[in-house]
Structure 1
Amino acid sequence: MVKRFKVWSYKEGERPIFHMGPMSNIYAIEGQFIEEIESEESPFRAKHPEEAHTFFMPISVANIIKFIYSPVIYPSDYNRDRLYRLMNDYVGVVANKYPFWNKSNGADHFMVSCHDWAPEVSHEKPQLFKNFIRVLCNANTSEGFQPRRDVSLPEIYLRRGTLGPVDLGQAPHERTILAFFAGGLHGYIRKILFQQWKDKDIDIQVFEKVPRGLNYTKLMGKAKYCLCPSGYEVASPRVVEAINAGCVPVIISGSYSLPFSDVLDWSQFTVQIPISKIPEIKNILSHIPNEKYLRLYDKVSQVKRHFVLNRPAKPFDVYHMVLHSIWLRRLNFKIGNINSL
């Protein structure tokens, strides 16, 4: 793939809505991906659109919300019309200027976004976007995410000036906490989790805020299992944080299409607990044999490189994994047989 796959990023559009995005915080993957794919040094960058296998729409939904839905200009206005109009107009511009969108009905075009609203760009005109590849953190199959067409994007929280959290993970025998979670009361899953476990158990340490004097990253590094419940949306940066800390992720979600499932078997390095089993978390985790835990721990160490963000990108990192997922969907698509998608 690295030697053959080429991506053309459309040049149309002006900053800050196009060609740039947030480089830090919860939506950082948007800006990081846009900057990397448009870099002159990227081995995937097509020099001419005719040599491209796929076409990137360099639009940042996070920046649309920040600059177009300004609370100063439009206080408390969350009408999606402006979002729809921007995306529809951009498709119109590139479809009128180039032959590629019309040739494939958008099936070899993609966008990348981590904002909660990103799936909605296609809602007003579903027929226009029926083949379009959406690379999304909000990969919720109950809200229209299609794993065969779309790509699930890991959510990575980046502090300003960094490319990821510090690795403070301990060896397995030094991990004295059975399970850990700290985070805001966002969504019904966390409400159930807090009702059952918040500040109630020394082995299942669940906090809304990390107690004074303790360190979030160090606590992850001391835990065998890190609880990763969905918040308002299905994705959580804690999955990547847990993997980075060598802590086995415990996925508690509904309808979440996990990233890179085309090639990664998540059952080999995570524990997945149904929402209905939240009251049984301690019983479930404490009854996992140590031999199985060590296998999960080893697999977490092996897959860690696939969730690391590098600049410039390196083989097998998260950037390459995202492009590989797009590459697989491009291989499954034939221009002469679009309706089979």
Structure 2
Amino acid sequence: MSLISRFALFFFTFFLFSSSSSSLYLSPTTLFLGYQKMRKPTSSSSPLPFSNLSTRSISRAVAELRALFPYWNRTLGADHFLISCSGLGRYGDRNVIELNKNSVIVSCFPTRPGNFIPHKDITLPPLAANLARRAGTGFLKYLGYVRSGWVKDPTWVKRLASHADILVESEPSDSSTYEERLTGSRFCLFEYEAGDVSPLGETMRFGWVPVLIADRPKQDLLLMDVLTWQKLAVFVGSTSGVQELKSVLSHAMEGLYDELRESCMAASKHLEWNGKPQLHDAFHMLMYQLWIRRHTIRCVQREWVFETAR
């Protein structure tokens, strides 16, 4: 089952039959899918609602919501949320502007730059690989580990590979090798802009401290309302050199590493998807984030009253 399908299925446990007592409204995905000309998905990770739609199609979909249901006009979409893996970009159409600026957009992690509004939007924790929990059971052979695809900048890859205490894969490893290398390293290195950062939560449950290489603000990190990422990860600018990176990691090793590691393992349970939702898991954390956003933006449609001059 895909991540989006799982979230949508779990969501209906919070479904209310009385629409007047609802705090949030899920924008009906079937309505938006109808404007994709019944394009059949090619896989479970196929584009989600809005990902391939034109501005005109999105605008028509919002217009249908406005016409068919009474809820949109009450707040101009501020009490609605929708799921769009790629997020929404910038558009000039009025309907799309209301959707993008008022409604909560739940998108896949990480989002595209410019498609995420931090005070209202949410990112979905990715599905983790089915690996055993063996945090800290291996010999810590490496200071850092870079799996194939986690760092894509060729300059960074070349410089990191020249250091014997940092393991950089030249090609993808199988699951058993991956698990062995996870348990044998202290830090995992991710290039935030270009690399694959989706295994972030997966590695944290091994007690592995993530290192995020990036310069742009990290506003779309997972569960920003729940987790304090400054206490879970090490942040390094992309213009830094490898020696500076190792200096930062060495400093973290002196007094912060054990605290970081324990915090990562404790926080990882909030990033896990279970076959049946469990207390404090990824699904319930997402529902909590939606709940606290129910009054983030409250745009009430104005009703103009004209008085006849006597």
State whether TM-score is above 0.5: yes
Kindly name which structure, 1 or 2, has the bigger radius of gyration based on alpha carbons: 2
Structure with bigger RCO (C-alpha 8 Å, 6+ apart):
2
C-alpha change, 1:176 and 1:195, in structure 2 (3 Å) is: closer
User: 1:118·1:138 contact (CA, 8 Å) conserved in 2?
Assistant: no
Root-mean-square deviation (CA, aligned residues, Å) is: 3.4
- Identify the match of residue 130 of structure 2 among 155, 158, 165: 165
Deviations 1:269-323 (A, max 9, x none): 1111111125232232133234310000110111111001013212211111112
C-alpha change, 1:172 and 1:269, in structure 2 (3 Å) is: farther
Please list, as runs of the form range in 1=range in 2, the aligned pairs for 1:236-275 lying within 5 A after superposition. 236-253=197-214, 254-257=216-219, 258-275=221-238
1:224 counterpart residue number: 186
Are 1:123 and 2:88 an aligned pair?
A: no
User: 1:36·1:313 contact (CA, 8 Å) conserved in 2?
Assistant: yes
C-alpha change, 1:241 and 1:208, in structure 2 (3 Å) is: farther
Are 1:53 and 2:23 an aligned pair?
A: yes
1:150 counterpart residue number: 121
Q: Measure how far apart 1:242 and its partner are.
A: 1.3
User: 2:210·2:232 contact (CA, 8 Å) conserved in 1?
Assistant: yes
Please list, as runs of the form range in 1=range in 2, the aligned pairs for 1:173-184 lying within 5 A after superposition. 174-184=139-149
- Secondary structure at 2:127 match in 1: coil
- Identify the match of residue 325 of structure 1 among 265, 279, 289: 289
Q: Measure how far apart 1:70 and its partner are.
A: 7.9
Q: Measure how far apart 1:185 and its partner are.
A: 7.7
Distance, in Å, in 2 between the alignment partners of 1:140 and 1:56 is 20
TM-score using structure 2 length: 0.78
**What is the identity, as a one-letter code, of the residue corresponding to 2:25?**
F
Are 1:134 and 2:74 an aligned pair?
A: no
C-alpha change, 1:88 and 1:283, in structure 2 (3 Å) is: same
TM-score using structure 1 length: 0.72
1:102 counterpart residue number: 73
User: 1:172·1:224 contact (CA, 8 Å) conserved in 2?
Assistant: no
Distance, in Å, in 2 between the alignment partners of 1:220 and 1:185 is 13
Runs of 5+ in structure 1 lacking a partner? 1-22, 72-79, 158-163
1:197 counterpart residue number: 160
Q: Measure how far apart 1:98 and its partner are.
A: 1.0
C-alpha change, 1:138 and 1:288, in structure 2 (3 Å) is: closer
2:46 counterpart residue number: none
Deviations 1:9-56 (A, max 9, x none): xxxxxxxxxxxxxx3xxxx32222112213xxx1x2222322211111
1:35 counterpart residue number: 9
Q: Measure how far apart 1:124 and its partner are.
A: 5.4
Q: Measure how far apart 1:231 and its partner are.
A: 5.2
Distance, in Å, in 1 between the alignment partners of 2:285 and 2:238 is 29
1:76 counterpart residue number: none
1:16 counterpart residue number: none
**What is the identity, as a one-letter code, of the residue corresponding to 2:278?**
K
1:282 counterpart residue number: 246
Runs of 5+ in structure 2 lacking a partner? 43-50, 303-310
User: 2:138·2:183 contact (CA, 8 Å) conserved in 1?
Assistant: no
- Secondary structure at 1:306 match in 2: helix
C-alpha change, 1:99 and 1:337, in structure 2 (3 Å) is: closer
User: 1:140·1:255 contact (CA, 8 Å) conserved in 2?
Assistant: no
Distance, in Å, in 1 between the alignment partners of 2:172 and 2:110 is 28
